[in-house]
Amino acid sequence: MPTNILMPALSPTMEKGNLARWLKKEGDKIKSGDVIAEIETDKATMEYEAVDDGTLAKIVVPEGTQDVAVNSVIAVLAGEGEDVKSAAGSAKVAAPVAVQAPPKPASAPKPAAQTVAPSAPRAAAMQPPVQQSHGTNRIFSSPLARRLAKESNIDLGRVQGSGPHGRIIARDIEQAKSGRGLRAPAGTPATGGAIAPAMSDAQILSLYEDGSYDLVPHDGMRRTIAQRLTASIQTIPHFYETMDCDIGRLMAAREEINSAAPKDKDGKPVYKLSVNDFVIKALALALQRIPDANVSWTEGGMLRHRHSDIGVAVALAGGLITPIVRSAESKSLSAISNEMRDLAARARARKLKPQEYQGGTSSVSNLGMYGIKDFTAVINPPQSTILAVGTGEERAVVRNGKIEAATIMSVTLSCDHRAIDGALGAELISSFKALIENPVMMVV
């Protein structure tokens, strides 16, 4: 029987993707593991590998198609010994669930029939369509996965399948044991209570005169950012703590370290430290000193992380992404600097792999280069903290009863109150302050 090739879910939160390019054509022989297409997500362009052997009988979704829904049919594969023409004919009954990018309206746009409300529950946004059989919900899983789930008391209905056609396999159960790949429990209100609904498109458009605006359709990245941050601020009880840090010693150390950096064969320094590199290292070490703050909240229990995996916000055209420096507490400042330079470059080129920007134990958002004095940042789930970093500037301070000039940087820690209480958050940001004001402590 022919096999439908489905649009893959390349990340836990992916709902749609763009089919950028087919690397195989109809009639080509395919082996398991062959790269058959390139898929664009909201964050990156990734290769799609075949799961089964056979012949590519029919391409259902042509390359260049945008907003192809996860689990919709994009091609049909004829198995060994099957008639390719017959298999291709079966594709006619499986139309792709794909939506071309909406054209820019020539005149005042009319409200769309369906709108994406910013207050849509996160759980609903993340869950793919439930596969059904004969009118009843059915969870497709391997026998081994079912046995492992039973032994570990894991609800299969909450596990995100990564096998062929969304089937749950043993690997998914192993990930679920550590809290990864789990959907929100059925019936859990993501909004956390009675929250006023967002204004509809029609209500918003009615406030402005026709012809006084241009409607620019949202791309996948902007929609994902809107959904995730709305879910974060509605489901995570944020609180904020701010401190001023004297970075005079840091600036002097940075200048001395950079001036002493060895040169490569082209005469260029092998590293050039930024203030943000010190911030990443200081936060990573602070989380190790205050391990009760290096956690993630789950309904089943608190995840206590052994390493400090620090996400760093990188601005992109139309959005942002947070690539992660793994085990930052054990890396040198020069290693962090070079790794961040590589991650930022590939992030802007949308070449990051999901494992390079998903997860993490805390994050840094630095707007100091824009002259921002201080701000608050929204926590990136499943993390429990994020540090917002302002600019370093000369301010008047009082020392020993005398007014002096000092280079001061304001930082604000956002905390998830479910996992971190006020005093614990204060310990974490105080530890960060001690490290950032005495950079020699980062290299001991």
Supply the residues annotated as catalytic.
Answer: 417
Other Cβ atoms less than 10 A from the Cβ of 132: the count is 9
Helix (H, G, I), strand (E, B) or coil at 253: helix
Question: Which sign, positive or negative, has the C-alpha torsion 175, 122, 231, 320?
Answer: positive
Residue 185 backbone dihedrals phi, psi, to 5 degrees: -60, 145
Amino acid at position 239, single letter: F
The long-range contacts involving 392-401, CB below 8 angstroms and separated by at least 24 positions, are: 392/247, 392/251, 392/275, 392/368, 395/244, 397/246
Amino acid at position 69, single letter: A
Distance, in Å, from the CA atom of 420 to the CA atom of 83, rounded to the nearest integer, reads 61
Amino acid at position 192, single letter: G
DSSP result, 306-335: SS--EEE-EEETTEEE--EETTGGGS-HHH
Distance, in Å, from the CA atom of 163 to the CA atom of 268, rounded to the nearest integer, reads 47
Distance, in Å, from the CA atom of 277 to the CA atom of 331, rounded to the nearest integer, reads 11
β-pair type (16-22, 35-40): antiparallel
Q: Which residues, listed in sequence order, are joined to residue 386 by a DSSP beta bridge? A: 363, 414
Burial profile 269-289: b = 16 or more Cβ within 10 angstroms, e = fewer: eebebbbbbbbbbbbbbbbbb
